[in-house]
């Protein structure tokens, strides 16, 4: 059932300033795992899908916002592996559906919209009970795939990180992917987490994940950066969009505006400010999320060149 069919490419970035600083920077192209089930969303779903099959479940139910990469990935994975899928979507339905939701629906996902207030209680017993009354039995995956199997799936990202790597950069939403990279076996690198969200809860969120893991002894060094959120989740500023568009032109790698663009912007800012010693060998994990660009461009005007 593994759709990671090939070695994930590690693409070297040839940037004069980076090279002049004596730093090696590569991008781990997890975005190439699958066009629709890309990057960390596939890593987080894989073990959940295996568990659902083992439990003979035929329906996957999960939660997300209207532009969610996780909703897109769950719909596509459900269709690929023979599950009915139900997406509990935060907020009112707006027509026409944006490209994330119309693609999800075309993959067979049943969309149920709930008010923002109700969404906050989405994992309460009462709400879950009402979902069971409406839809019968289902395998429940938390928002963003943020459970223990999600973390363990993300530990596998490290299998493609060279042992000579000194730093691994990763974007953060629920901190699940970072938790996997930080606790991967036999690592020697320091993990650098870049939060896409405003607020100072990311460290606690990560701690919570790390405490859930029995491999707590395996926790490696890490540092979190909270200053590159550009106003918060799904917010942007011109400097971020310029960076994303320039990066695409120079390196032929598409970044997304919600996660990977902010991480890469932050990483370059750290490089330019002298954070890394000469000889550092950095791997930036491209966690995917490119499906979200169409919806972003629909919403804000074609700000991202594709």
Ligand X SMILES: *Cc1c(COP(=O)(O)O)cnc(C)c1O
Which spans of this chain sit near ligand X (rule: CB under 6 A)?
Answer: 39-41, 69-70, 144, 171-178, 256, 259-260, 287-289
Residue 69 C-beta: closest distance to ligand X, Å: 3
How many CA atoms, within 13 angstroms, populate the side-chain half-sphere of residue 45?
31
> Is the Cβ of residue 69 or residue 85 nearer to ligand X in the bound state?
69
The residue of the chain with the least Cβ separation from ligand X equals 289
Count Cβ atoms within 10 A of the Cβ of residue 251 and give its class: 0-12 exposed, 13-18 middle, 19 or more buried: middle
> Among candidates 261, 267, 251, 271, which has minimal Cα distance to 9?
251
Smaller CB separation from ligand X, 114 or 284: 284
Q: How far is the CB of 256 from ligand X (least distance, A)?
A: 6
Phi-psi region of 47 (alpha: psi -120 to 50; beta: other; left: phi over 0): alpha
* Residues 171, 286 contacting (CB under 8 angstroms): no
Q: How far is the CB of 134 from ligand X (least distance, A)?
A: 27
H-run or E-run covering 25: strand 24-28
* Residue closer to ligand X (CB basis): 288 or 295: 288
In this complex, which beta carbon is closest to ligand X, that of residue 23 or of residue 154? 154
How many CB atoms are located within 10 Å of the residue 241 CB?
Answer: 18
Closest distance between ligand X and the C-beta of residue 294, in Å?
14
**CA separation, residue 259 to residues 79, 154, 173 (Å):** 25, 16, 8
Residue 266 or 289: the one with the smaller Cβ distance to ligand X is 289
For ligand X, the closer of residues 79 and 176 by Cβ is: 176
In the complex, minimum distance from the CB of residue 7 to ligand X, in angstroms, rounded to a whole number? 20
Cis peptide bond prior to 235, omega within 30° of 0: no
Q: What is the CA radius of gyration of the chain?
A: 19
The nearest distance, CB 129 to ligand X, in angstroms, is 27
């Amino acid at each position: 059932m593994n759709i990671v069919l090939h070695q994930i490419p590690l693409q070297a970035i040839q940037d004069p300033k980076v090279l002049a600083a004596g730093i090696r920077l590569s991008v781990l192209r997890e975005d190439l795992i699958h066009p629709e089930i890309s990057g960390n969303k596939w890593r987080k779903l894989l073990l959940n899908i295996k568990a659902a099959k083992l439990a003979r479940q035929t329906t996957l139910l999960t939660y997300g916002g209207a532009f969610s990469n996780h909703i897109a990935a769950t719909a596509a994975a459900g269709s690929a592996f023979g599950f009915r899928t139900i997406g509990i979507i935060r907020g009112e339905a707006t027509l026409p559906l944006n490209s994330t939701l119309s693609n999800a629906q075309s993959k067979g996902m049943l969309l149920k919209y709930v008010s923002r207030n109700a969404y906050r209680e989405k994992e309460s017993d009462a709400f879950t009970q009402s979902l069971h009354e409406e839809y019968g039995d289902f395998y429940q995956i938390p928002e963003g795939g943020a459970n223990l199997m999600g973390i363990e799936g993300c530990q596998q990202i490290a299998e493609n990180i060279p042992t000579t790597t000194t730093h691994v950069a990763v974007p953060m939403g629920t901190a699940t992917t970072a938790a996997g990279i930080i606790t991967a076996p036999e690592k020697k690198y320091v993990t650098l987490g870049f939060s896409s969200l405003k607020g100072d809860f990311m460290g606690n969120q990560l701690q919570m994940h790390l405490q859930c893991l029995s491999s707590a002894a395996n926790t490696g060094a890490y540092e979190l950066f909270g200053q590159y959120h550009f106003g918060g989740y799904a917010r942007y500023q011109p400097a971020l969009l310029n960076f994303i568009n320039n990066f695409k032109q120079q390196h032929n790698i598409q970044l997304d505006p919600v996660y990977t663009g902010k991480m890469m912007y932050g990483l370059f800012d750290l490089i330019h400010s002298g954070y890394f010693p000469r000889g550092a060998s950095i791997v930036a994990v491209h966690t995917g999320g490119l499906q979200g660009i169409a919806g972003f461009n629909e919403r804000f005007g074609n700000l991202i060149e594709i």
